[in-house]
Amino acid sequence: KAGVTQTPRYLIKTRGQQVTLSCSPISGHRSVSWYQQTPGQGLQFLFEYFSETQRNKGNFPGRFSGRQFSNSRSEMNVSTLELGDSALYLCASSEPNNSPLHFGNGTRLTVT
Amino acid sequence: DAKTTQPNSMESNEEEPVHLPCNHSTISGTDYIHWYRQLPSQGPEYVIHGLTSNVNNRMASLAIAEDRKSSTLILHRATLRDAAVYYCILRDVGITSGTYKYIFGTGTRLKVLA
């Protein structure tokens, strides 16, 4: 099976812009979750989707949003970008319940 | 929310066992303990998980304290390829909502010396 695919791998944006990141889960996985990784804060949970519904959300401002499509692919959007949004954004997919997470290699976002 | 704490870094000699500790003193009865590791420029990779009993797989062993307030990931023979950041994660199945929360530890950077 192909792994979790995230696009693009690298992105440079300026403050105030918005950005959309994409994640294609492993075939058959219906749960997709998103994480922000920074040197200072480490790995932080953003949100999780299952069958097109957001099931849980981390402590991030409303500028961070996401969605999941019927084929389980997911997108996350960050509006009004700030310098502090520069980070590695990771997506993971899994089967339901307590199955292991399978991570993609992330999208590195740089905000200038 | 339950939190985990891990040492920032550890060193091991190649071919020797490594014990990576994780404290989760506020763990709840529904929290599973997961371990992942992350190599440079890659996403985290699943290593092992458990609830109450010790667990073994081809990569590692997980020893869980009887009170579940701590756990230890054991790499039986460290190799240079095991050099990575190891994360201890609690996955909580919300009793009322049925949703999951993913709570990450700070991670331990393991250095393996040749």
Residue B96's pLDDT band, with cuts at 50, 70 and 90, is very low
Question: Is B39's Cβ below 8 Å from some Cβ in A?
Answer: no
Strand A107-111 with A10-13, pairing: parallel
CA–CA gap between residue A95 and residue A1 (Å, rounded) = 14
Phi, psi of B61 (to 5 degrees): -125, 150
* Residue B32 contacts A where some CB pair is shorter than 8 Å: yes
| Mean pLDDT, all residues of chain A | 93
Give the strand pairing for B70-75 and B61-64: antiparallel
Confidence of residue B95 (pLDDT cuts 50, 70, 90): very low
Note which residues in 62-91 of chain A have CB less than 8 A from chain B. 90
Distance CA A99, CA B101 (A): 13
The more confident residue out of A98 and B107 is B107
The pLDDT tens digits for A63-90 are 999 999 999 999 999 999 999 999 999 9
B3 at A interface, C-beta within 8 A: no
pLDDT value, residue B108: 96
Nearest 5 degrees, angle CA A54-CA A58-CA A64?
75
Among B37, B50, B44, CA closest to B86: B37
Return the residue of A nearest to B8 by Cα: A42
Q: What count of residues does chain A have? A: 112
A29-46 per-position pLDDT tens digit: 999 999 999 988 888 989
Q: Tokens for B107?
A: 């991670």
Type of residue at B44: P
Closest Cβ opposite residue A98 in set B42, B91, B94? B91
- How is A17-49 classified by DSSP, letter by letter? --EEEEEEPPTT--EEEEEEEETTTEEEEEEEE
Average pLDDT for A86-110:
92
